[in-house]
Structure 1
Amino acid sequence: MTAHSGRHFLQIPGPTNVPDRVLRAIAQPTIDHRGPDFAELTLDLLPRVRAVFGTSAPVIVYPSSGTGAWEAALVNTLSPGDHVLAFETGHFASLWREMAERLGLTVEFVPGDWRHGADPVVLAERLAADTGHRIAAVTVVHNETSTGVTSRIPEIRAALDTANHPALLLVDTISSLGSIDYRHEQWGVDVTVGCSQKGLMLPPGLGFNAISEKALAASRTARLPRSYWEWSTILDSNEQGFFPYTPATNLLYGLREALVMLEEEGLPAVFTRHDRFAAATRAAVRGWGLEVLCADEREYSSSLTAVLVGGAHDADKVRRIILDRFDMSLGTGLGKLSGRVFRIGHLGDLNDLTLAGTLAGVQMGLELAGVTIDPGGLQDALEVLRAE
């Protein structure tokens, strides 16, 4: 590897850059997680978390990855053999399906091309055919991190309501929470899964379940085995400001600081900022003469953009050149997209100049890799940034 000066550009779709304010908060001395200072921290923190999810209901916080929060959503609401309807929107939707099957659930996997989100029309057809209400839950990845495609959750909810179907709606917001407008309560979601290392601007290590009253009721009769993930014991402890296990104390310090930062900017402004960055990135991609993987403009992600390199070019070669020459990390193609795409993360703690530098590095890397592009792509992005 080449020696580099300056800071590393971490432009993957997560983990994202951790702001200095959050790093300083995490660096505080660890305190007694059974003492009054910790209870004060928790009782201040939990209401703040609800606002990011768009809910007034409880949000469970785990010391876990997003994968753990996936499992918690399933085991707290479902029983062995229950039928789950899932949509193949990308690599992570496929992994969630595999988890559900390993847990003993029966998954009906709606095939997809990894360029579109969950289809509300197809959902309506599947629900209409399910006259016996065998489907216990519908799982959707809101923002598929492997593809840069955002499913239209309000339309998914509308399909369930129109069919008058009782299935639970479980939604993964791992790469959209804190970056893309999301409304757990208003959109009628039963369990929302999130994690710490993307739009919340923290290191990995915290997983979240936002839950509805319907989901909480389902948890009382669900029969999948669970202990660590059990909602009820956590909710009981949270009432007094504690957890039934040793929590990730220092990450909770950081979470509180990150939430304060989001409050200071205001969530509408945060979402608008991410929308602008995404529009500028897509302008650059099109200006270069390349193709955005997401095929439906209604489903463009504001967290990341997946770029099809095309031809005989290897997207991973482009990434390697950019890392070596410009000290910038881009996301790799996952699963069936391996070698075909690279992913530009534009979420979390960044500004116009950070994005401009990122796109300049991508343009230079494409040229060095021998990919034929129009160098006007960067200027197209700058025009979008300058116009706002």
Structure 2
Amino acid sequence: MDFHSATQLIQKSRTVGIAVYEKAGGDEIGSALALASVITQMGKTAGFLFSGTIDEKWKDIFGAPAVPAATSPRELQPRDLIIAINAKESPISEIKYDMQKSSGELFIRITPKHRPVNKEGVRIFEDGNRYDCIVSVGVHGPEHFGKEFEENPFLFYEKPIVNIDASHQNEQFGEINLCDMTRSSCAEIVYELIESLTGGERLNPTESTRILTGIIEKTEAFRNSKTTPRVLEISALLIESGGDKDKIMRALFKTKPLNLLQLWGRASVRSRFDDALKALFTFIPKEDFEKTATKTSDVRFVIDHTGSYFVSPKFHAVFFENPEKNHVRVIIKSDASLMKKIVEKEPGDIQNGLCVFKNAFSGFPEAERHVDNILRGLEE
């Protein structure tokens, strides 16, 4: 990865916008905030571009609001006012402006060639803050910039972007792409970028805790295959610099709501292990959601909680019945390389470390047979 070019770009920039996906987790947000802090200490202005909300469990670590005043993008003033006209429907012949000295008003006259300019075809908005460059953290593609992109499209098209991501879904849209799916997390990549920016200077406890949060979240507390020797080395250095591992662990594994534990308990007794496939199959009928007052979105908790207490199988396939649509959906957790092979065979997406099937099934037997065939096909 070209850390040298990224370092040069940031060093020559006076203002840096750090963009995070609106549904980002602890890894992306912690990494972005740590990087913003380091850039601010370099005597630059850092703007945190994030339109989402911080997950409740991370608020004690990141604070609420999550953005320190020193890195607020709203402080970067002034901003240009842009008038956008649909010139395809109403070609423009001439643009004039006139300043009225008496009133101080500026009049802008737009003369169309053929058709009158329709008011509905005119948009007025502020340009993005005057960032010299953008650093995106965990953003797979431009469409994931969310609200910030919708409000400031010119910002992302006109400024050079340093694209940081550890996902194979990344579209390599940056001028400089620091993307490596073999890395444990965005935090690991950001740590190495900060090393390059600071010449290896020791991070403060707050920055260390924020980066360590991303590593612990993505390695599931150093228990999955992403826990490489390099990850352990970086984590040890962060803890030595004041990274609060215990605080992160408490946030990650704090007491869970009773109804979620009830759903997990019901799912556990409806699970079976396939020795040949090294796969755990879990079944959740609609009655389990209804009796525990939970939702299908809580399937993620079942998967995560199982991984917190047991050694992760090669595959964990969860089959769940939607109470409203009366069909069965499938989510599989496995190594990134295996999930990539699955989506090559089956329509689906990899979302937040899970393989989510797009197709629905009429019942559990049909879904189980289908998944069984796919997993056995991977062994061939």
* Bigger proportion of residues as strand: 2
| Structure of greater Rg | 2
Would the TM-score normalized by the shorter structure come out above 0.5? no
Normalising by structure 1, we get a TM-score of: 0.31
Normalising by structure 2, we get a TM-score of: 0.31
Ranked by relative contact order (alpha carbons within 8 Å, sequence separation 6 or more), the top structure is 1
